[in-house]
Amino acid sequence: MRKRWRTLVILTFLLGLLCAQSTLAALPFNIQSESALLMEVTSGEILVDKNSKKPLPPASITKMMLMLLVMEAVESRQIKLTDKIIASPEACRMGGSQIWLEPGEEMTVEDLMKAVSIVSANDASVALAEYISGSHEEFVKLMNKRGSELGLENTIYVNATGLSPDGGGPGNQTSAYDQAILARELLKHPTVLKWTGTWIDSLRGGESFLRNTNNLVRFYDGCDGLKTGYTSEAGYCLVATAQRNGVRLLAVVMKAPTSPVRNNEITKLFNYGFSQYKALKVLNAGQIIGKTKVMKGCSSEVNLIVPEDLLVVIKKDVQATPEVIAQIPPKVRAPLAAGEPVGQIIVKIDGETKVTADLVAESAVEESGFFRFLWQIGKSIAEGFFR
Residues involved in catalysis: 60, 63, 120
- As a whole number of angstroms, the distance between CA 268 and CA 277 comes to 15
- As a whole number of angstroms, the distance between CA 234 and CA 175 comes to 11
The amino acid at residue 356 is: T
Helix (H) or strand (E) holding 89: helix 89-92
**Residue 206 DSSP symbol:** G
The amino acid at residue 269 is: L
For residue 163, cis peptide bond before it (omega within 30 degrees of 0) = no
229 SS3 class: strand
The amino acid at residue 163 is: L
Helix (H) or strand (E) holding 332: strand 331-333
66 SS3 class: helix
**Residue 200 DSSP symbol:** E
Q: What Cα–Cα distance (Å) separates residue 130 from each residue in 92, 186, 360?
A: 12, 20, 37
